[in-house]
């Protein structure tokens, strides 16, 4: 069945040029229409991610080339508003969640390929659902990016209190690894509550003096943290980075450094979302903001380390 709506305008958070905090603005744009195999989603909540400000400032323009103006936002939860031709996985009114595999979530209505979405589990409201699609899946994939995880491996996770890190700590512990994790003073107890065996306060301690013979480093921070991490690795160890696109150029000869970019995986997302809904995994919300405060939340994500995820609730 094909359903259409009038092509009215809608509000969105977009950038017209790369820049600082003021580059992200709220503007009126045309409401899209679902095409072949697509659905129109009325967005109820969207996750705020570190990649938002990096895209806004043009830091990852080579990895994410954009045609400007561009609507920001990479993950959402909402309800099916209309079906495009050939779309059959969902019905109008179904609650759904998922990553876009691109940009556009900070808009009242978004067109999405139906294959990228999953049904939101019962027991998860839209705000909590919007925190999951990117971070939960990316943390799992990045943990396994360098190869299978074996019980007893020593894994160091940088940025362990953040959206990715919080999940990665839990996944690594589930796999039987010995987990070292870095976090700021205020977040040490939270990371310890996730199951980390050794929580290193990076404000008062140097991780190099505590973490040694590490099999895998998950670097969700980048910069000089990446450069300092080579010395803690075993000879055959690996660093998987999500925050340093130039990690290959910064990998010393004879060492293994891998750049990670997440890929949508609906089967994995369904499983992880169900575990969160059932309470088997902790999904931490740091802050919930209204639609009008998305630009400011993007900037705070750049300047202030977060515990868990920030989500925009479109009903606010």
Residue 211 CB burial class (10 angstroms; 0-12, 13-18, ≥19):
buried
Query: Does residue 268 fall inside a structural domain?
Result: no
Dihedral, CA of residue 133, residue 139, residue 145 and residue 149, to nearest 10: -130
- Its domain, for residue 126, covers 9-132+283-313
Confidence of residue 258 (pLDDT cuts 50, 70, 90): very high
Looking at the structure of the chain, the number of domains it has is 2
Query: Does residue 271 fall inside a structural domain?
Result: no
176 and 105 in one domain? no
56: CB partners within 8 A, 6+ apart: 15, 18, 19, 20, 23, 24, 72, 298
128 and 203 in one domain? no
Above 80 in pLDDT, residue 24?
yes
108 and 152 in one domain? no
Give the Cα separation of 200 and 160 in Å (integer). Answer: 10
Give the Cα separation of 6 and 34 in Å (integer). Answer: 12
105 and 22 in one domain? yes
| Mean of the per-residue pLDDT values of the chain | 93
Confidence of residue 64 (pLDDT cuts 50, 70, 90): confident
Give the Cα separation of 168 and 157 in Å (integer). Answer: 8
138: CB partners within 8 A, 6+ apart: 164, 242, 260, 262
Dihedral, CA of residue 207, residue 209, residue 210 and residue 213, to nearest 10: 100
83 and 48 in one domain? yes
Handedness of CA 298, 300, 301, 303 (dihedral sign): positive
CATH number at residue 164: 3.40.50.720
43 and 110 in one domain? yes
Above 90 in pLDDT, residue 104?
yes
Strands, sheet with 198-201, edge to edge from the N-terminal-most edge strand = 198-201, 178-183, 154-158, 214-219, 233-241, 256-259
CATH number at residue 112: 3.90.180.10
Query: Does residue 269 fall inside a structural domain?
Result: no
Instruction: Provide the 10 A C-beta neighbour count for residue 279.
Output: 9
Q: Considering the entire predicted model, what is its pTM?
A: 0.90
Task: Provide the terminal-to-terminal Cα distance of the chain, rounded to the nearest Å.
Answer: 32
299 and 243 in one domain? no
Contact 9, 29 (CB under 8 A): yes
Enumerate helices (H) and strands (E) in the chain, giving the number of each. 8, 16
Q: What is the pLDDT of residues 189-217, one digit of tens each?
A: 999 999 999 999 999 999 999 999 999 99
Q: What mean pLDDT is predicted for residues 136-157?
A: 96
Closest CA relative to residue 170, chosen from 310, 273, 280:
280
pLDDT of residue 240: 97
């Amino acid at each position: 069945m094909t359903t259409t709506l009038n092509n009215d305008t809608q509000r969105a958070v977009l950038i017209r040029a790369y820049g600082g905090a003021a580059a992200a603005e709220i503007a009126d744009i045309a409401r899209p229409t679902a095409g072949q195999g697509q659905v129109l989603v009325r967005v109820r909540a969207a996750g705020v991610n570190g990649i938002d400000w990096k895209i806004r400032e043009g830091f990852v323009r080579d990895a994410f080339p954009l045609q400007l103006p561009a609507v920001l936002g990479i993950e959402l939860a909402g309800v099916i508003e209309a079906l495009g031709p050939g779309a059959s996985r969902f019905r109008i009114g179904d609650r759904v969640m998922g990553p876009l595999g691109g940009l556009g979530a900070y808009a009242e209505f978004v067109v999405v390929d139906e294959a990228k979405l999953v049904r939101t589990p019962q027991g998860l409201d839209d705000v909590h659902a919007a925190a999951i699609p990117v971070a939960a899946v990316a943390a799992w994939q990045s943990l396994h990016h360098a190869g299978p995880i074996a019980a007893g491996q020593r894994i160091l996770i940088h940025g362990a209190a953040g959206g990715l890190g919080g999940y990665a700590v839990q996944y690594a512990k589930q796999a039987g690894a010995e987990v070292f994790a870095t976090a700021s003073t205020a977040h040490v107890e939270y990371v310890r509550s996730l199951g980390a065996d050794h929580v290193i306060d990076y404000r008062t301690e140097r991780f190099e003096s505590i973490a040694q013979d590490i099999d895998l480093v998950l670097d969700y921070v980048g910069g000089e943290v990446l450069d300092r991490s080579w010395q803690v690795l075993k000879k055959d160890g690996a660093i998987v980075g999500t925050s340093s696109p130039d990690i290959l150029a910064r990998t010393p000869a004879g060492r293994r450094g891998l750049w990670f970019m997440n890929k949508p995986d609906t089967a994995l997302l369904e499983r992880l979302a169900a575990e969160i809904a059932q309470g088997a995994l902790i999904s931490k919300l740091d802050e919930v903001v209204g639609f009008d405060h998305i630009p400011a939340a993007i900037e705070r994500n750049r300047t202030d380390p977060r515990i868990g995820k920030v989500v925009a609730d479109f009903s606010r």
